[in-house]
């Protein structure tokens, strides 16, 4: 696989090229742990749960998982696949 363009909910209209294989692996793990109801999970809770689901060859020892989790989060938020619950701290869920 090559590169794909992802969005960022914080910077509407901008896209970024990222490795498609790593993106798809992280997206699969991210959506597997994300609850479908509020209040959802914090980004730290999500990362803790998804790290064991990541392919070791792409994320050895969880390397770079934090960056990829955030990139996938912001892309999926921009696409409406992930939503933020109201209030603080940030909690995410599938709408």
How is the chain split into domains, by residue range? 3-93
Q: What burial class does residue 10 get, using C-beta atoms within 10 Å of its C-beta: 0-12 exposed, 13-18 middle, 19+ buried?
A: exposed
3-state secondary structure of 38: coil
Residue 85 has pLDDT above 90, yes or no: yes
pLDDT in tens, 15-71: 999 999 999 999 999 999 999 999 999 999 999 999 999 999 999 999 999 999 999
pTM for the full model?
0.93
């Amino acid at each position: 696989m090559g590169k794909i363009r992802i969005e960022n909910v914080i910077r509407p209209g901008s896209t970024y090229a990222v490795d498609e294989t790593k993106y798809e692996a992280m997206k699969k793990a991210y959506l597997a742990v994300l609850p479908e109801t509020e209040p959802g999970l914090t980004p730290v809770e999500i990362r803790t749960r998804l790290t064991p689901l990541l392919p070791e060859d792409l994320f050895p020892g969880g390397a770079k998982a934090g960056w990829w989790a955030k990139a996938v989060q912001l892309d999926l938020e921009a696409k409406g696949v992930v939503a933020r619950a109201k209030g603080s701290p940030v909690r995410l869920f599938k709408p």
